[in-house]
Chains A and B, each alone.
Chain A
Amino acid sequence: MSENAKTKTLKAAQISLRRKRIASLTIRYLVLVAVGIFMVYPLVWMVGATFKNNSEIFSSMNPIPVHPTFEGYKGAMVTYGGAINIWKAMLNTYTYLIPEVIFTVVSSVLTAYGFGRFKFKGRDIMFSLLMAMLFLPQVVLNVPQFLLYNKLGWIGSPLYLPLIVPTLFASETYFVFMLIQFLRNIPKELEEAAKIDGCNAMQTLIKIVVPMLMPAIASCALFKFMWASNDFMGPLLYVKSPAKYPATIFVRLSMDAESGFEWNKVLAISLISILPNIAVFFAAQNQFVEGISAGGVKG
């Protein structure tokens, strides 16, 4: 009798607990969905806007087009002067983007390893200089860099030398800084063990340090990938023939404020050109988030 009552109250308690859990879950999901919609809305609107005409783009918040048109996509496929179209422009982007990412990662890891693990004359002053570079905006560098590359004859180089070569010299200070922070968390004992086993400095780096650094390296690579694929000023300054234009320049080619332009075409080109970026981001999402937090949490 009493046992029966006991189970009853237990069941009631379980049910109320479950209800509470469901309620809290529902609220949590509602909040998440609301915030999610808020964040995804611009992207959804952009996709919808590629099917709208100009006056609808400027007068409607509704992401679903009322009078859908495919003119934007038709316009996006145009080849300019037989030299450049959206596919070629995207290909051009990746011809300098991939070397840039690889070289940045390699040079940053080497530099970070050097500063993080070795004591040498002038290390502190050089490290301060390196950190000072963090505060130097790119705008200030544009003119002196342009003059330098001009002297070297690299302006308009078909190999995108002015864009690629600087990345060989750990020019992204932020990554060096991030990797050094990350290196501090890697126990030195591991490297000492490798040394005892007969590894030289380079072997230690490749066989021990790099695998441990992987999450940080992945986020460096992703950051560089995003920054370089968004870079507009670099290609504008150093690429001098339409056939070599990357996607960032190509998107802007038709944007003439004076005579007005078709926004749907510009948005369609933008959408096509960010698809690879979105794919890369989703594929590497976990690494990316892990890398950022790992670098920051235990400083």
Chain B
Amino acid sequence: MKRKLAATLLAATMVVAMFAGCGTTASKETATPDASTDATSVTETATTEEASSQDPNAYEECTLTFDWWGGDSRHEATIAAIEAFEKKYPGIKIEYNYGAWSDWETAKASEYLSGTNADIQQTNFDWIRKYDGDANTYLDLRTVSDTLDLSQYSDTVLALPVDSKGGLAGIPVSLTGRTFFWNKATYEKAGLSVPTTLKELMEAGPIFKEKLGDEYYPLVLTEYDRAIFMAFYLQAQTGEPIIDQNNNFTMTEEQLKLGLEFITSLEENHVIPTIEYYDGEGAEAIDKSVRWIEGKYAGCHNWDSAHKSLVSALPNGDDLVVGNALMDTGAHGSGTYVKVSQMFSISAKCEHPHEAALFLNYILNDEEGAGIMSTERGIPESKAAFAVCEAAGKIDPMVAAAHKSVMDSNPMYWNPLFDDSSLKGDTALYNNLFEGLSYGVRDGSYSIEDAAADLYAAYTAIAPAK
């Protein structure tokens, strides 16, 4: 018995000693290379900092991660640009990842939460507010302005993607704004020309009904379009953005009521279909609506970047004309919205900001890089890139016209709070409210007063009244 106990004890000590021995050697082994790499990387960064202050083109060999969302042609163009960049700057390796927009943000949100976001990212305008609230997620791009040529962008463009500390959180690749798309052929069938004033549009409603029939409408507006169109109408009355730069809501409940009355009058005058009629078809978006394809909806109010999908849906693309000129909406002009359609940002945690900026400058402003990137992310805001694309004939005159009509309309400031998730989304307020109103004013279950009160409460909940 005693002997057995002694043997067990001995064995136990041996095992413990063995494990302990293993432990120490292992930790020693891992500790040494760690320390040495740390030291080298510190000296390396030190030298690059010195170098970069002397020559912005000097760079250090490194690997950068980059991700974006989009469709086929954008993926192809971006991959080609990455390959050209790696050829031009041997030693810098770009590891990339891409996907479609649907659920992309969900994946990115979890990355921001865990701090595993890529060094360089294509970012959405409202991500600054969502994921960069403390201005620690995205690098202030002005710190790398010796490499990234910001002079290619106008000050109004650079004033948009500003974070809470005043830093430049992203660089806008392109801007997009709301504009009208008209189906010329349908208007001609009704004996009309495409409307240029609100009055003409209002008059077109009854004429469409009389000449073409009940299922023809001069314009179609979804719930979200109605929210935007209403804001657009109200801003023309007051001359102030509905939510201003200080995140304050500028309208009164009374004014919202006027706006909602305006939207309801469009419906009553057969200018736009009711939500019931629009939803009855079950189309996911206007460009997938058979009524749009057949020209029964003769107009829509959409982002200018949606041009391609709207045209390609029509059997004869030439029928589509773009116009932003509803000049008599109010005392303060036609004022539309402009927002950043997407940006590129560098992570604040990026270990090689200089090289990341070098890459961004290549794809945004460099003659070769911007030429490969082309207009896959909209009409480039960078002057150099625009010149390259224009010279190469990449800029579709129709798209350019759509974009120009927006930019020329003296667009008003657009606050991303307008798209807050409590307002915009399948089950959010805009959808519920405009659907409720469209049904409610006819059966008496929801009045314009109720809707104005609800809308006012929802707006002031996210943006305090001025």
Contacts and interface: CB of A to CB of B under 8 A. Distances in A.
Contacts of B309: 257-260
Contact of A233 (B103, B289, B305): B103
Contacts of B287: 260
A59 B293 contact: yes
Interface in A101-145: 142-143
Contact of B79 (A81, A233, A259): A81
A253 B99 contact: yes
A147 B308 contact: no
B95 interface: yes
B97 A242 contact: yes
Nearest to B288: A58
A81 B75 contact: yes
Interface residues of B, number: 41
Nearest to B310: A260
A80 B285 CA distance: 28
B37 interface: no
Contacts of A236: 99, 103-104, 106-107
Interface string B281-317: 0010101111001100000000001101100111100
B290 to A, nearest CB: 5
B72 A261 contact: yes
B72 A233 contact: no
A237 B287 CA distance: 30
A80 B294 CA distance: 35
Given A59-B294, A236-B103, A143 B113 contact: yes
Nearest to A81: B79
A253 B100 contact: yes
A78 B79 CA distance: 14
A254 B71 contact: yes
Nearest to B376: A259
A122 to B, nearest CB: 30
Contacts of B116: 150, 155
B79 A252 contact: no
Contacts of B75: 80-81, 253-254
Given A55-B313, A254-B72, A258-B71, A143 B97 contact: no
Interface in A14-72: 54-55, 58-59
B313 A256 contact: no
Contacts of B72: 75, 78, 253-254, 256, 261
Given A81-B76, A242-B97, A242-B98, 14 more contacts: A59-B294, A81-B79, A142-B106, A143-B113, A147-B113, A147-B114, A150-B114, A236-B104, A253-B72, A253-B100, A254-B71, A259-B71, A260-B287, A261-B72
Sorted nearest first, the 6 A-B pairs with minimum C-beta distance are A256-B71, A260-B309, A81-B79, A254-B72, A146-B110, A150-B114
Interface of A: 54-55, 58-59, 75, 78, 80-81, 142-143, 146-147, 150, 155, 232-233, 236-237, 240-242, 249, 252-261
